[in-house]
Structure 1
Amino acid sequence: MADQEVVKLGSRNESVLYLQKEGKHVSIGAWNQINRILKVRKYRDFRDFIPAEIEGHLRQAGFYEAALAGSLKLDKVLISAMVERWRPETHTFHMPFGECTITLQDVAVHLGLPIDGNPVIGVIWCDWSELVEDLLGVVPPASAIKGGGLKLVWLAAQFNFHNLAGADPIQITYAARAYILRLIEIGCCAYLIQVWAWLRIPGIDPDPPRLHRGLPLAARWRDPDPEKPIKWAKKQIEWWRTKLDDLSSNDLWKSYSDRVLNGLPERCRENMHLWRTVVSMVLYHVSEWHQPDRVMQQFGMFQHIPNAPSQLNEMHDISLKGNEKQDWVHNMRGFIQLWSERHQRLANQPETNTLVGPNDEYMIWYDKYSVRWLTRAAATRGQMAMRVHHVWYGLTPEGRPLYTDHDLQNQAARCLTLCHASDRISHPTASVPSFPMEFTHATTNDIPPTGKEEGEGLGRRRESQIPEDVIIQGGTLPPPHDSTHCTPLI
């Protein structure tokens, strides 16, 4: 069997990750060693400084803790490698061991942003120049307006946050709004992806963890001196792909420890029950599903086979361009209703400190429906390890009733094919003579020593078959006895 027929990108069932079948996902480029590095916005000129004059406004708006998190230089290669793992179909990262994602919990503990309230939605048909003048006190030129947003270069030129002493209250309000607008526009998503990955992926954070009691979790990496930012070893995207391909469940599926949560500002711990709400989040024309039910072990709970993803593919294609006069409150009323039920739509499972193993029902499901590896080398190793594990388990007293000899033979044959040694697969013994073999009597002194026990290797030959997928009889396999135990983060 040819190598490309054994090791390929994609899942055995593409009903969940349908973008793979349509050839529309960035992981296809990663598999073919096409390097696509994202561009990220630079914003290192203001976040390490919070003017005392606007602190009250930031607190009132719920952005003070986010500003305290500080700034850092973004690693666009790491962020690009994480995006290759992001699946719009499920709103989760697909890793070798299962799904993981950034939840409302991570938004709260890392940035301290409020996670409860009314949807940001309404009528967007207006005179943008007039609106900017009303909110910021300055009329922008047409070149500074792009769609429904302002260009950051223009915005940065209008406000000097280091020169607010003596400003009147309305000028302070304008400056606070501009500061918040820049916090929103500068790419908090990229920032959050980076600090989330630094915390959860072992050995990649640039410095030993520094907990700042009373500050959001992301503040542990804030630059102590804007002129001397935190540095880290730059890696190529191929390195990151291999690193992510080699992750285990004990690396990312961890819950935050009580010690960490108790040291966070009160704002970070508000509405903690909403961390597990399964609901659609609405922003004008955008509806994005929050599905913690797919990553329950991030909350220290048992991971079940999740329901079908709720995200509608057509929602990703809606744009404000040409839709300025749409009544989004009416158009999104169904999603708004779901958000209004957020306090009741909570995912819940039994608590556990044991991570899923390769024989668990979830992993058998995940292996069928997911894209676990993005490099050929890792896919080969992963598939071989999985099949060797089937053979090993099938020879144990517990697993023997679940496998036939044919099943185990198929798995062994697939392993040989994966390592390009399919010629070692035995075939029916047509070359064995059909007449009885004749032996002469020999004493033990005539037989040279072999170092083997008597009878070892005798009667072991079995008829080989063409490699096929394993057929597991009797339902799903029981959990392995050597379960991996989860250690809380930090």
Structure 2
Amino acid sequence: MCKSVDIKVTEMSGCILLLQAWAFTRMPIISPVAPLQSPYPYARRWCIKKLDYQNNPRHHLQGYRFRIDHMLQDQFIWRSYLGLAPQRHEDSLIWSSTTYIICFHIVEMHQTDRVKLQFGHLQGIPEEARCLAEHHKMTTIKARQKAYTTLYSDEQNCWLHRELFTLDGDQLQTEEKPSNEYMQWYHSLPHRYASYGQFLTDPRQNQHAPTQASGSQ
């Protein structure tokens, strides 16, 4: 995902269907309307015919960006699966672990401490995000030059002890929204929008400026 947000990147790998289901479930403002009787598994509900795109963008990048940039804080669903009890509660605790996710030479950070609301915990102002710039320089060729057991040994050790890095505190029984303190911090960030500047202005705020008549002094 980190490499895929580069403007020069035109492709991405992985389970795109899972990413789509995550986005459409939590951001209904960009999701097409699916039939009430959805097929199994859950993610297939947006892979069937006759979806309703009347009030949502479809295959339009700027349309998706526009909707997300203008989304209100109560339009994001943090706990879309609230009420669905996991089969094993102890396994669900591991989901909140702030740890490294490793797939061969690819390393990403499961930064759960920055999205605590998604896991049923109150969200304070998060610490600085961990930078994995050096990890992203690793390629398949470079990885072959090292033994896999020694490649990212610290990160692998963190993953093996992931139960030590789960979020603290009891889970909330209801979905909470970001606090005023958090939103003030969020609005202080310099880069918050995906759209170009001309798509962020409200045309109702544009005032007509009278033009000077041709030939007038």
Structure 1 length-normalised TM: 0.35
Aligned equivalent of 1:399: none
1:207 match? 34
Instruction: State yes or no: 1:356 paired with 2:182.
Output: no
C-alpha contact (below 8 Å) 1:278/1:293 kept by paired residues = yes
Match of 1:337 in 2: 157
Pairwise CA RMSD of aligned residues? Answer: 3.3
User: d(CA) in 1 for partners of 2:162 and 2:65?
Assistant: 36
Q: Aligned partners of 2:32 and 2:9: how far apart in 1?
A: 20
Instruction: Indicate the structure with greater helix content.
Output: 1
Q: CA deviation at 1:346?
A: 0.9
Counterpart selection for 1:254 from 68, 74, 78: 78
**Residue number among 50, 69, 78 corresponding to 1:245 in the alignment:** 69
Q: State the partner residue of 1:465.
A: none
Instruction: Give unpaired runs (5+ residues) of structure 2.
Output: 209-217
Contact 1:206 1:231 in 2 (8 A): yes
Deviations 1:362-389 (A, max 9, x none): 22222222522223256445xxxxxxxx
Aligned to 1:220: 45
- One-letter code of the match for 1:196? W
Q: Given residue 19 of structure 2, which amino acid in structure 1 is its aligned partner?
A: I
Change in CA separation of 1:285 and 1:257 when aligned onto 2, cut-off 3 Å: closer
The correspondence of residues 42-441 of structure 1 with structure 2, limited to 5 A, is 187-203=13-29, 204-211=31-38, 216-221=41-46, 223=48, 229=49, 231=51, 233=53, 234-259=58-83, 261-262=84-85, 266=87, 271-348=91-168, 351=172, 353-357=175-179, 360-373=180-193, 374-377=195-198, 379-380=200-201
Distance in 2, Cα, partners of 1:270 & 1:208: 34
- After TM superposition, give the deviation of residue 284 of structure 1 in Å: 2.0
Mapped partners of 2:207, 2:138: distance in 1: 47
* Amino acid corresponding to residue 16 of structure 2 in structure 1: A
Inter-CA distance 256–201: structure 2 relative to 1 (3 Å threshold): closer
Q: Distance in 2 between matches of 1:208 and 1:231?
A: 7
SS in 2 for 1:276: coil
Corresponding residue of 1:19: none
- Which whole-Å CA distance do the structure 1 matches of 2:62 and 2:44 have between them? 29
Unaligned runs of 5+ in 1: 1-23, 27-35, 41-186, 224-228, 382-417, 422-490
**CA–CA distance in structure 1, aligned partners of residues 103 and 11 of structure 2:** 24
> Relative to structure 1, is the Cα distance of residues 222 and 210 closer, same or farther in structure 2, using a 3 angstrom cutoff?
farther
Contact 2:102 2:156 in 1 (8 A): yes
Distance 1:230 1:355 in 2: 33
1:7-51 CA-to-partner distances (Å, cap 9, x unmatched) read: xxxxxxxxxxxxxxxxx953xxxxxxxxx89457xxxxxxxxxxx
Size of the alignment, in residue pairs? 195
Distance 1:367 1:326, change over 3 A: same
Q: 2:100 and 2:11 mapped to 1: Cα distance?
A: 28
C-alpha distance in 1, partners of 2:72/2:127?
23
Deviation at 1:278, TM superposition (A): 0.3
> Separation in 2 of the partners of 1:240 and 1:195?
15
CA contact (8 A) 2:102 2:108 kept: yes
Q: Distance in 2 between matches of 1:363 and 1:343?
A: 30
CA distance in 2, matches of 1:276, 1:365: 23
Asked if the contact 2:26–2:80 (Cα under 8 Å) also holds between the matched residues in 1, the reply is no
Which residue pairs with 1:430 in the alignment?
Answer: none
